[in-house]
Amino acid sequence: MSETSKRALFWFRRDLRLADNPALLAALDEGDEVLALFILDLDIAARAGQYRNSYLADSLRKLDESLGGRLAVIAGDPTIVLADVIKRYGISSVHVAEEFAPYGLARDARVEASGIELQKTGSIYAVSPGRVRKPDGGNYRVYTPFFRAWQTHGWRAPVSAPKNPAFITPLEIDRQFPEWQPPAGVILQEAGEKAALARWKAFQKGALSEYDSARNIPGIPGTSRLSPHLRWGEIHPRTLLAGLDQTQAHEVFRKEIAWREFYADVLHHYPHTSRDYYTPTFARMHYDEPDEKFRAWCEGRTGYPVVDAGMRQLAAEGWMHNRVRMIVASFLVKDLHIEWQHGANFFMKYLIDNDVASNSHGWQWTAGCGTDASPYYRIFNPIEQGKRFDPEGNYIRKFVPELAHLTEKEIHEPWDFLDGYSHGYAERIVEHAAERLESLARLADLKDDTIQQGR
């Protein structure tokens, strides 16, 4: 390096890709050479769980390949790591994509408080949280008007990957790649930008044209399964939005992307909702403590076939179909009367696409304490949901082999058939009809309590 050349640093976080990465391009524009760095936060890793850590390890290896073996990976506190790297490599500027989740905001604030300036360009969203506003300047609290305003706001077109980038070859001591592996027998989908782009192209050519009708059927490949790639920034939502037209199926997919951005916007304005109630009143509802029934839910042995199939898919793949996520969440909160945070925390340990905004607010939407206009009365019937969205029982047979011998008429209610339990399937831990009434009774008690406290 000559005395006049400048060295910049690009700090990869939730943007593990080269294409459509404005912050990376800003670093390359600023420096004659750029150090590509990922900092392993071991505190996060300890909480993340084996599934998410394994996916991240694979993603980092794929990113390193795309960088020609020039990715620095260093474990430690970001403030200490950055200060050391800046000194050792002669870095003049540090570039990042802007963060909006509570943990990332607090981490970046600590880094900047130490005297390290972070040059922020773009974000992981098509429209960054806080930018979509109501006419009076306030934030949206309901999805549909947010979606309309989000579309009106619009977003920039994707940008290409850098051509002939000058990345610094890091020292060997700065290549601390983790060796995390998934649990035995678990097969996670392939990570990395290349896999993300291939999955997107295959989805465009195939299931996207029927997404509006097929996305709720867990027994067929009717969804994109791009959520892990979006969570880790292996593909940017702008890339997906640029490939959509105005047909009904494409519009429904666009709306799913908007849901992700809506929840990020809600969390941005109400950061306490990552762990606490969006509607505080529901914190006073009477809930049951996690017990053996909760363990049965976790292990996929509730006796309700579609619920058990979903929980077993989560354990087998680190992913669960979105329709089934709502079914199993409703069952935990409305049938077992357990607070949503217990389910959200369990999901966080397994989901390779775990995103704090989408996970917490998806759970609160189903639990009835979130952003929905009339939420709590929606109580999913696990039997009818299975019949409607897995009519032939294909999804159940895949993940609950104890029921594979049953016909499509038998598989959703094995207790009604002589052969239903012959292969060792679990009996129901609760009666849905009774628990539905109990759930509504607890809501009535909450309302009465609220009225009395308001007097």
CB 73 within 8 A of CB 177: yes
Categorize the per-residue pLDDT at 454 as very low, low, confident or very high, splitting at 50, 70 and 90.
Answer: low
* pLDDT score of 57 more than 50: yes
pLDDT at 372: 77
DSSP helix/strand/coil, 27: helix
Q: Give the tens place of pLDDT for each residue, 117-136.
A: 999 999 999 999 999 999 99
Could you tell me the two tokens for 261?
Answer: 């951005």
Q: Give the tens place of pLDDT for each residue, 401-423.
A: 999 999 999 999 999 999 999 99
pLDDT at 43: 87
* pLDDT score of 180 more than 80: yes
Categorize the per-residue pLDDT at 3 as very low, low, confident or very high, splitting at 50, 70 and 90.
Answer: low
Task: Please tell us whether the domain made up of 7-123 is placed in CATH 3.40.50.620.
Answer: yes
Could you tell me the two tokens for 59?
Answer: 């993603």
CB 222 within 8 A of CB 215: yes
pLDDT at 302: 98
CB 56 within 8 A of CB 64: no
* pLDDT score of 95 more than 80: yes
Q: Buried (b) or exposed (e) across 102-137, using 16+ Cβ within 10 A? A: bebeebbeebeeeebebeebbbbbbbbbeebeeeee
Q: Give the tens place of pLDDT for each residue, 152-175.
A: 999 999 999 999 999 999 999 999
Task: Please tell us whether the domain made up of 280-449 is placed in CATH 3.90.550.10.
Answer: no
What is the total residue count of the chain?
A: 455
* pLDDT score of 453 more than 80: no
Phi-psi region of 417 (alpha: psi -120 to 50; beta: other; left: phi over 0): beta
pLDDT at 376: 75
Rounded CA-CA distance 347/375 in Å is 21
- Picking from 405, 408, 410, the residue whose alpha carbon sits closest to that of residue 424 is 405
Q: Give the tens place of pLDDT for each residue, 181-213.
A: 999 999 999 999 999 999 999 999 999 999 999
The bridge status of strand 118-120 relative to strand 93-96 is parallel
Please give the full DSSP string across 288-348, using - where no structure is assigned.
Answer: PPP-HHHHHHHHT-SS-HHHHHHHHHHHHHS---HHHHHHHHHIIIIIS---HHHHHHHHH
DSSP helix/strand/coil, 248: helix
Compute the average pLDDT of residues 286-302: 98
Categorize the per-residue pLDDT at 351 as very low, low, confident or very high, splitting at 50, 70 and 90.
Answer: very high
* Domain residue ranges in the chain: 7-123, 125-158+193-269, 280-449
Burial class (CB in 10 A: 0-12, 13-18, 19+), 21: buried
pLDDT at 42: 87
**Cβ contacts of residue 7 below 8 Å, gap of 6+?**
1, 31, 32, 33, 34, 35, 89, 90, 91, 92, 168
* pLDDT score of 88 more than 50: yes
Categorize the per-residue pLDDT at 230 as very low, low, confident or very high, splitting at 50, 70 and 90.
Answer: very high
The one-letter code for the residue type at 232 is W
CATH number of the domain at 125-158+193-269, out of 1.10.1740.10, 1.25.40.80, 3.30.70.20, 3.40.50.2300?
Answer: 1.25.40.80
* pLDDT score of 455 more than 50: no
- Picking from 131, 130, 133, the residue whose alpha carbon sits closest to that of residue 145 is 133
CB 165 within 8 A of CB 10: no
Q: Give the tens place of pLDDT for each residue, 72-81.
A: 999 999 999 9
CB 241 within 8 A of CB 253: no
Q: What pTM, to 2 d.p., does this model score?
A: 0.95
Categorize the per-residue pLDDT at 396 as very low, low, confident or very high, splitting at 50, 70 and 90.
Answer: very high
